[in-house]
Copies of this chain bind each other. A is one copy, B any other.
Amino acid sequence: MTKTSRNSLRDQIEGEIIGGQYLPGQRLDELSLAERFGVSRTPVREALMQLASMGLVEIRPRRGAIVAQIGTERLIQMFEVMAEYESMAGRLAARRHTDADRALISERHAACADAVERNDSARYYEENEAFHFAIYAASHNEFLREQATALHRRLKPYRRLRQRFRNRMHISFAEHQQIVDAIFAMDGEKASEVLRNHIIIQGEQFSDFIASLQMDVQARQAGSGPA
């Protein structure tokens, strides 16, 4: 398993996009990246190409690569699909979870509880992620897990701006409790339903700030390169 340069670059750049170092709409110059990482343009191009296939960057022929900008409508659609992934994972997890899965979910759920008690919304954000990943794993469908985590990552640059909604933490945790109960009771339909709503509600709340987000993006576009 030799790590090729392009894959390292892909992971690096992906991390920076997800981490918010590069913002949607921002230009990704091949030469700058190549110089910054101390390689030639070739592996950079190949990394960007992969990221384009993943949907994280957009390559416009002869016009360079930019961090993918996701429009309002599409973002809502992606959340709809995300909700379905979660819902499916919950249904499968309820039926298939092992003792180890149960232990891990309990652990993550407890960590969320701890974050709520400390009113640490940043930490809740992280633990929430881990909680959901534990459910993906408990679904025992590796392909689903991959798809769900991929979409999760893809949405992350947009999700992170959501930390403004701090008061949602308590509601979210209450929903987590329902999710855990349903899964542990092996009630797949219940888990499915609660999880779908859990995400859909997030999506609807999203509608609220999506407008402002779009304003951000447009402002950034105007600054670094109009459409």
Asked if residues A81 and B143 are in contact (CB atoms below 8 Å), the reply is: yes
Q: What CA separation (Å) do A142 and B84 show in the bound complex? A: 15
Chain A positions near chain B (C-beta within 8 angstroms): 1-4, 6-7, 45-46, 49-50, 52-54, 61-62, 73-74, 77-78, 80-81, 84-85, 88, 92, 141-144, 147
Asked if residues A1 and B49 are in contact (CB atoms below 8 Å), the reply is: no
A8 to chain B, nearest CB (A): 11
Q: What CA separation (Å) do A132 and B85 show in the bound complex? A: 20
Residues on B with C-beta less than 8 A from A88 are: 80-81, 84
Asked if residues B81 and A2 are in contact (CB atoms below 8 Å), the reply is: no
Asked if residues A62 and B2 are in contact (CB atoms below 8 Å), the reply is: yes
Residues on B with C-beta less than 8 A from A144 are: 77, 80-81
A21 to chain B, nearest CB (A): 21
